[in-house]
Amino acid sequence: MADSSGLIASEIGIPTADREIPGYRAMPDEPGPFPMVLVIQEIFGVNEHIKDVCRRLAKLGYLAIAPELYVRQGDVSKLENVQEIMKLVSQVPDAQVVSDLDAAFEWGANQSSGDSSRLGMIGFCWGGRIAWLYAAHNAKLKAAAAWYGRLVGQSMPLQPKHPIDIVDSLKVPVLGLYGGKDKSISVDTVERMREALQSAGNASEIVIYPDAGHAFFADYRPSFHKASAEDGWRRMLAWFKRWGLA
């Protein structure tokens, strides 16, 4: 786990269209501006793992910002089981999330420490799906990384589209990192996405780790797969460098 030495790391408030939402930021304790990375949570919210990811990025020279994206629907830290959390998260509209991410970007861009010309994004699980969707929304992104984000699904009023539906609309390249043993995101859907990207001539890339399951980057959970997580992190950093985020 990354500590806060040499960093400025704290809770923040992010003004949005209808209210201020909480978040977490970490950055080097030195003059900026720094390239910015929006860090998108798993279903478990901006927990200590997501904060740790922010600090890890900050130690590499980034301003990392993790907004709480379903605070309007409730506090997942107070819920006792995954089923209750999933029920709450299913009530979060994609449009709300995209708007809040725009606000988080604006918050960072308005800080002297944030370089608005160098914006990236990473998302995990629930946030991995969002990373794909946001890459079709904000052309100011340089690049994104989606860690095991769901790619296909039924159209619902609050979640009308999924990544497979927006391939032709992607504005920035996305690195998709998936587990070959993932029981919730089947390899065949990942391959469908890969084929759709190739057919569209999109610069996005997908990597499948054959020995990893779902949530293989989450080092606080039994699903953690060290070799795949470390390789994915290296690939993600190289991806950011490739697209001008280093």
What would the DSSP string read from start to end of 19-39? Answer: SEEEEEEEEESS---EEEEEE
Any domain includes 2: no
Any domain includes 1: no
Q: At residue 69, does pLDDT exceed 90?
A: yes
* 124 bridge partner residues: 147
Q: At residue 77, does pLDDT exceed 90?
A: no
Residue 58, Cα to own-chain centre: how many angstroms?
Answer: 15
Q: At residue 1, does pLDDT exceed 90?
A: no
pLDDT of residue 78: 87
pLDDT average, residue stretch 43-51: 96
Any domain includes 60: yes
- Is 54 catalytic? The answer is no
Average pLDDT across the chain, whole number:
96
Residue 207 to residue 205: CA distance in whole angstroms? 7
The domain total for the chain is 1
What is the pTM (predicted TM-score) of this model? 0.97
pLDDT of residue 143: 97
pLDDT of residue 4: 87
Set 102, 214, 219, 231: catalytic member = 214
Residues ≥6 apart with Cβ < 8 Å to 43: 76, 82, 85, 86, 89, 125, 126
Set 100, 125, 162, 225: catalytic member = 125
Any domain includes 237: yes
pLDDT of residue 42: 96
Residues 170-226 pLDDT 10s = 999 999 999 999 999 999 999 999 999 999 999 999 999 999 999 999 999 999 999
Residues 137-157 pLDDT 10s = 999 999 999 999 999 999 999
Residue 237 to residue 57: CA distance in whole angstroms? 9
CATH number at residue 11: 3.40.50.1820
Find the domain containing 220 and state its range: 7-242
Residue 128 to residue 147: CA distance in whole angstroms? 5
- Is 225 catalytic? The answer is no
Set 49, 54, 162, 182: catalytic member = 182
pLDDT average, residue stretch 5-13: 96
- Is 214 catalytic? The answer is yes
